A and B are shown apart, each in its own frame.
Chain A
Amino acid sequence: MRKTPALARFKEAAIKAFFFTNGILAIVILLGIFIFLLMTAIPAFREIDVGEFFTSRDWNPTSPVQEKYGIVSMITSTFMVTLGSLIIAVPIGIGVAAYLSDVAHWKVREIVKPVIEILAGIPSVVIGFLGIVLFGPIIAKIFGISHGLNALNGSFLLAIMALPTIISISEDSLNAVPRAYSEASLALGASRWQTLMRVKIPAALSGIIAGVMLGMGRAIGETMTVLMATGNAPAFPKGFLRSVRTLTATIAIELGEVPYYTTHYYALFAIGLVLFIITFIVNLISDLILHRYQEREL
């Protein structure tokens, strides 16, 4: 039976609409996450002073005397651990990316790439476990402290987790540098090393920065590794060898114990909202850097 053209057209339009609905869903989910977090965070500020929330260092929601809801210590901890991880991961990550794009034989690349993919595939809880059983004792021994669950340990582990992102995006941007750039540099008598350092890396810098920012977003939002490896002392961080407690770890520790629909419960969602906004901004900036050129072409 032949369908009438009108019916066929309707069917085509319906199919397109169906796929469009699925496509548009990404926007709906992103907005949904933001709106639901916001709605659940707002009730927290019926009892908590917004100023106190963002400026106080004290977080003690279960105090029998005076409950305190300040997130400065956690935000500082999060940024400290993240900064530490970047100090470790950025030079190594760019080094590996430069090696893959400029030095390595393609056969070596075929081996290194899957290895990095395996590294990226290790679940965060396993990395956190290694922080407890492997890195912790080593750190404790080196620095002569009672245990190694501290900010340094977290930074190490987060560096490992951020590396695959930094490597793959940096390598892509190094490969995207036009050949003419390096050929011109080599023709002028520069060595391959000089070409890499003074021509290719500067030319790929925006992409490398975007990769670093994506890695940073990962590190800020990472939960299980820091929860397991940083010791979780809810105080203002005083150094890399002290235990710290990040935004993510606070949610993970306290949400399981808190009764639903209390100020404390809402306050944890407020932390979640802060976390969402921070990572959103970091990701957006890196996205704008990475896709600025592509969008312009379109």
Chain B
Amino acid sequence: MNKKRIFEIIGFFGLRVCVYLVFAALLVFLYDIGSKGGATLSWEFISQAPRRGMTEGGIFPAILGTLMVTIVTAVLAVPMGMFAAIYLNEYARQNRVTRLIRLSIRNLSGVPSIVYGLFGVILFVNIMHFGTSILSAGLTLGLMTLPWTITASEEALKTVPNSYREGALALGATKWQAIRTNVLPYAMPGMLTGTVLGLARAAGETAPIMFTGAAFYLPILPKSFLDQFMALPYHLYVMATQHHSISQVRPLAYGTALVLLILILLMNLTVVIVRYRLRRVKRE
């Protein structure tokens, strides 16, 4: 065996080790949280409120808060993301404005989450007087999610063949009629699944909601979207670093982390399954 071949074997082995490292990291993470969080997980844990200074009880208010804030996020980010994507893919010409829009979208997705939080404090909490509330936090997350939903929706629109549009136009349909009848019905499932991925990421964010509405502890459930709320990611942060007896509540923190992970993985899994089905339908 010559030297060249030995180098190749060693080199490719090195690359494989890199992949193993990533796998190992993920497995260790999931195992640690799965095993220790699993010990805490029970129906009581997800259906009851925290008790005795959050040293006992469950995390129901945090689950509810995260769901409510995600609804607000979706109401802002899903339709607006789709509309912007329709503009970019169906109407926009290749000119300076379009390039600037695309550049802004890519740059928005790189703005740090805490900067969105600061922006939310200025715009929603102070200027719009929504106060620290589900509404402010959800809108802040919505803005952060927007670049993701735009990109995901555009990807879905790109998969619709041009002949669909041309067919409608050739029959005398206007541009909007062509989009409505021949593009959107085919792109919609892809658009929706893509946006769900964006929402899953938003649901796990902490920094944007810390100062726009998430609360350390609330004795009652939120009654409207203008109330403060408890949220799973923020609750995990509190239980892991801010609680007065951190080591005592460690099992609860593990449980919270597991519930948050399950919630997000479930949202991702739904998307994977729907996509798989769609691909199969298309092939047939």
* Residues B7 and A193 in contact, CB atoms below 8 Å apart: yes
Chain A residues whose CB sits within 8 angstroms of the CB of B207 once the complex forms: 124, 223-224, 248, 252
- Interface flags for A107-143 (1: CB within 8 Å of B; 0: not) read 0000010111111011111111110111000000000
Q: Which of B108, B112, B123, B205 contacts A30 (CB 8 A)?
A: B108
A206-B22 Cα distance, complex, nearest whole Å: 24
Q: Closest approach, in angstroms, between the C-beta of B97 and any C-beta of chain A?
A: 8
* Residues B84 and A23 in contact, CB atoms below 8 Å apart: yes
* Residues B236 and A214 in contact, CB atoms below 8 Å apart: no
- Interface flags for B87-100 (1: CB within 8 Å of A; 0: not) read 11011101001111
* Residues B236 and A129 in contact, CB atoms below 8 Å apart: yes
* Residues A18 and B83 in contact, CB atoms below 8 Å apart: yes
Chain B at the A interface: mostly helix, strand, loop or mixed? helix
B67 within 8 A of A: no
CB nearest to B83 among chain A residues: A22
Chain B residues whose CB sits within 8 angstroms of the CB of A117 once the complex forms: 268
Binds A, one of B40-48, B158-166, B187-195, B257-265: B257-265
* Residues B8 and A279 in contact, CB atoms below 8 Å apart: no
* Residues A22 and B115 in contact, CB atoms below 8 Å apart: no
CB nearest to A16 among chain B residues: B91
* Residues A37 and B119 in contact, CB atoms below 8 Å apart: yes
- Interface flags for B191-224 (1: CB within 8 Å of A; 0: not) read 0000000001100111100110000000000000
- Interface flags for A149-165 (1: CB within 8 Å of B; 0: not) read 00000000000100100
CB contacts under 8 Å to B, within A1-34, are 8, 11-12, 15-16, 18-20, 22-27, 29-30, 32-33
Number of A-B contacts (CB under 8 A): 254
CB contacts under 8 Å to B, within A137-193, are 160, 163, 191-193
Q: Closest approach, in angstroms, between the C-beta of B77 and any C-beta of chain A?
A: 11
* Residues A255 and B200 in contact, CB atoms below 8 Å apart: no
A295-B116 Cα distance, complex, nearest whole Å: 29
CB nearest to B208 among chain A residues: A223
* Residues B204 and A126 in contact, CB atoms below 8 Å apart: yes
B137 within 8 A of A: no
* Residues B114 and A96 in contact, CB atoms below 8 Å apart: no
* Residues B83 and A103 in contact, CB atoms below 8 Å apart: no
B128 within 8 A of A: no
Chain A residues whose CB sits within 8 angstroms of the CB of B174 once the complex forms: 8, 12
A29-B184 Cα distance, complex, nearest whole Å: 26
- Interface flags for B260-275 (1: CB within 8 Å of A; 0: not) read 1100110010001000
Q: A11-B176, A36-B123, A134-B32 are in contact. Are A115 and B26 (CB under 8 A)?
A: yes
Binds B, one of A52-60, A69-77, A235-243, A280-288: A280-288
Q: Closest approach, in angstroms, between the C-beta of B15 and any C-beta of chain A?
A: 4
B175 within 8 A of A: yes
Chain A residues whose CB sits within 8 angstroms of the CB of B261 once the complex forms: 122-123, 126
B104 within 8 A of A: yes
* Residues A36 and B122 in contact, CB atoms below 8 Å apart: yes
A208 within 8 A of B: no
A62 within 8 A of B: no
Q: A22-B80, A22-B87 are in contact. Are A224 and B206 (CB under 8 A)?
A: yes
Chain A residues whose CB sits within 8 angstroms of the CB of B91 once the complex forms: 16, 19-20, 23
Chain A residues whose CB sits within 8 angstroms of the CB of B88 once the complex forms: 23
B226 within 8 A of A: no
* Residues B25 and A12 in contact, CB atoms below 8 Å apart: no
* Residues B233 and A125 in contact, CB atoms below 8 Å apart: yes
CB contacts under 8 Å to A, within B231-250, are 233-234, 236-237, 240-241, 250
Chain B residues whose CB sits within 8 angstroms of the CB of A134 once the complex forms: 28-29, 32
A282-B92 Cα distance, complex, nearest whole Å: 27
Q: Closest approach, in angstroms, between the C-beta of B103 and any C-beta of chain A?
A: 7
* Residues A272 and B118 in contact, CB atoms below 8 Å apart: yes
* Residues A280 and B107 in contact, CB atoms below 8 Å apart: yes
* Residues A192 and B8 in contact, CB atoms below 8 Å apart: yes
- Interface flags for B1-37 (1: CB within 8 Å of A; 0: not) read 0001101100110111111011101101100110000
B68 within 8 A of A: no
Can you pick out 17 interface pairs between chain A and chain B where the beta carbons lie within 8 Å of each other?
A12-B176, A20-B91, A23-B88, A23-B98, A26-B84, A27-B100, A96-B22, A103-B12, A123-B261, A124-B207, A163-B22, A193-B4, A223-B114, A224-B206, A255-B210, A272-B115, A279-B115
Question: 4 new A-B pairs (CB below 8 Å) besides A119-B22, A119-B25, A191-B7?
Answer: A126-B204, A134-B29, A163-B22, A275-B114
